[in-house]
């Protein structure tokens, strides 16, 4: 079995895609027959042709609570072009500055009142671009929207979507938008700059430009019943024409002092704290940190206390976890 098929088998197992597994099994039989392993191919084919025992479905054909009936598949290899997250698996708690919280809440309230707005010829915000530094909570924001409006999250897999074959990437992208139209969902284009880089900043007039053009057209015509959320760390690299296609564009900022303290206390709410905790000192040391870093430092401190057999998380646990996280981040940035 070649490495490409093996990777796809493992990915299909990890994602619980029975349909992908069935296709890949046929490819394996065909591959073995072509390489001259006729007996093995016949044995494998015999196994596949045996009556299938009844089993609970593990495919992504979920039809629970209005989720997608079937995920879109890539044109060439039949792999899932997206992953589906139902409400049970969505993180949704966020600590945001009031102005940013208000932007998210407005999208949610407009979606909830979409029928009432329609009576007055008004349309709710349905396409949203979230931008900001890494770790600030853009992807979490998409999950939060999905949770609060009660729709599953369909996250596009750019590793499968992008193809070197002429026009195939655009075809794959179109299949994703069709699937989102057929069943309500929050369609997430996470780190969308991967497919939406400015056409003026590249000499590539091939597949990269075609997929940007396809995305612009699909967004211009977007009328799916759910939401479309795109995220990016580098909004300046996006094609300028893309911004006009979004109903709302706003930044998810790094947490300020108040948000850092709330994140620490929320993350540590399940463990006991040794008094006194000097929150002000901790907040000072975390100034400029991302929300993801703050949460991870608090989690690491809690784990260190539990693994050390201590009943309380101490100031020292938190200081050490913060220092370690800062060293890790500095090393990753080459500082």
Q: What is the DSSP string of 193-261?
A: GGT-B-GGG----SHHHHHHHHHHHHHHT---SSEEEEEES-GGGB-HHHHTT-SEEEE-PPP-HHHHH
Predicted confidence at residue 331, as pLDDT, reads 73
Smallest Cα–Cα separation from 207: which of 163, 264, 176? Answer: 163
- Cα–Cα distances in angstroms (integers) from residue 290 to residues 29, 95, 158, 162, 166, in the given order: 49, 12, 25, 30, 40
For residue 88, the 8-state DSSP code is G
pLDDT 10s per residue in the chain (335 long)? 565 566 566 666 665 667 667 776 777 877 777 777 777 777 777 777 776 554 433 344 444 444 455 688 887 778 899 999 988 788 889 999 999 999 999 999 999 999 999 999 999 999 999 999 999 999 999 999 999 999 999 999 998 988 767 678 889 999 999 999 998 999 999 999 888 876 665 555 566 788 889 999 999 999 999 999 999 998 888 888 899 999 999 999 999 999 999 999 999 999 999 988 999 999 999 999 999 999 999 999 999 999 999 989 999 999 999 999 988 877 766 65
The token duo for 182 is 């057929």
- Rg of the chain over all Cα atoms, to the nearest angstrom: 24
Q: Helices 138-149 and 98-112 sit at what angle, rounded to 10 degrees?
A: 40
Predicted confidence at residue 122, as pLDDT, reads 96
Smallest Cα–Cα separation from 300: which of 274, 267, 272? Answer: 267
Cis peptide before 322 (omega within 30 of 0): no
Token pair 């049970």 is found at 88
CB 234 within 8 A of CB 191: no
Predicted confidence at residue 235, as pLDDT, reads 83
Smallest Cα–Cα separation from 141: which of 175, 99, 105, 92? Answer: 92
Which secondary-structure segment (H or E) carries 83?
Answer: strand 82-85
Predicted confidence at residue 197, as pLDDT, reads 77
């Amino acid at each position: 079995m070649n490495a490409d098929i093996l990777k796809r088998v493992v990915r299909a197992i990890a994602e619980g895609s029975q349909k992908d597994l069935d296709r890949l099994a046929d490819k394996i039989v065909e591959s073995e027959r072509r390489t001259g392993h006729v007996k093995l191919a016949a044995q494998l084919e015999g196994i596949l042709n045996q009556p299938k025992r009844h089993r609970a479905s593990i495919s992504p054909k979920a039809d629970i609570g209005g989720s997608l009936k079937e995920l879109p598949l890539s044109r060439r290899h039949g792999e899932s072009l997206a992953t589906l997250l139902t409400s049970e698996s969505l993180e949704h708690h966020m600590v945001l500055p009031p102005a940013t919280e208000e932007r998210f809440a407005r999208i949610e309230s407009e979606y909830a009142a979409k029928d009432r707005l329609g009576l007055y010829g008004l349309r709710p915000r349905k396409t949203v671009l979230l931008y900001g530094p890494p770790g600030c909570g853009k992807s979490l924001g998409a999950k939060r929207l999905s949770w609060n409006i009660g729709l599953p999250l369909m996250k596009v897999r750019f590793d499968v979507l992008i193809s070197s074959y002429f026009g195939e990437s655009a075809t794959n992208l179109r299949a994703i938008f069709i699937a989102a139209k057929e069943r309500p969902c929050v369609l997430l284009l996470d780190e969308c700059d991967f497919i939406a880089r400015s056409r003026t900043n590249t000499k590539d007039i091939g597949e990269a430009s075609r997929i940007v053009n396809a995305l612009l057209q699909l967004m211009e015509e977007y009328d799916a019943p759910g939401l479309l959320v795109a995220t990016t760390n580098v909004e300046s690299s996006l094609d300028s024409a893309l911004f006009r296609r979004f109903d709302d564009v706003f930044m998810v900022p790094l947490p300020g002092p108040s948000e850092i303290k709330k994140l620490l206390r929320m993350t540590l709410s399940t463990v006991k704290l040794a008094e006194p905790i000097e929150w002000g000192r901790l907040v000072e040391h975390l100034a400029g940190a991302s929300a993801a870093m703050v949460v991870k430092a608090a989690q690491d401190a809690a784990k260190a206390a539990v693994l050390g057999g201590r009943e309380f998380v101490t100031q020292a646990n938190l200081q050490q976890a913060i220092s370690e996280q800062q060293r890790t981040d500095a090393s990753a940035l080459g500082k």
